[in-house]
Amino acid sequence: MKNLVLLMLLSIIFARCSAGKVIKSNTEEMKTTTTTYQPTAKLQTQNGREMLVGTVAYDDILHYFENWRTEDAGIVLDQPLIDRIKAINEPIDVVCYLGTWCEDSRNGVPPFVRAIREAKNPNIQLTLIAINREKTEPESLLENGIERVPTFILKQNGEEFARLVEFPMQENFVLDFVEIAGY
């Protein structure tokens, strides 16, 4: 009888151990598939500094720059502001010029991007354009008179109606945006 109880106990222990290994294996596999990101932008090196130039995805910035990931991870979203963004019922295009090398961009852009993403408002289209340190690339920055970053250009029907430059007027660019948009 003791042998039978011992055998059953060992069977349960081994069954649980092997089940744990399967779960661990599946978890490791899931981590691999969820953390693999294929950037769309190519990293450039200018004067010994790495940066992105041109139209970029926010995830590209996070992929290449740990300091941006750190900033992004510390963001606490303000739900009342998110609700105000959700309420915007007219199309607004936001073109944000930024420098991946720029501390002001690193401080101001992540909260804005995260708020726009969280709101999931189809009326708001956000385009991120990274510029080089000399502020000579891409060409569109010269065409739009960009001198400082970050610069958020707000447009309706293709016409610029507001611009937020380098530092927010209030607490942050998200609050500036909803105030200017009238929501």
Tokens of 94: 């936001």
What is the domain class of 44-181 according to CATH? Answer: alpha beta
Please tell me the distance from the alpha carbon of residue 159 to that of residue 124, in angstroms, as a whole number: 15
> Is the distance from CB of 87 to CB of 50 less than 8 angstroms?
no
Q: Give the tens place of pLDDT for each residue, 26-65.
A: 333 333 334 677 888 888 888 888 999 999 999 999 999 9
Q: pLDDT (tens digit, 9 = 90+) per residue, 129-181?
A: 999 998 888 888 889 999 999 999 999 999 999 999 999 999 999 999 999 99
- Dihedral, CA of residue 5, residue 11, residue 13 and residue 16, to nearest 10: -140
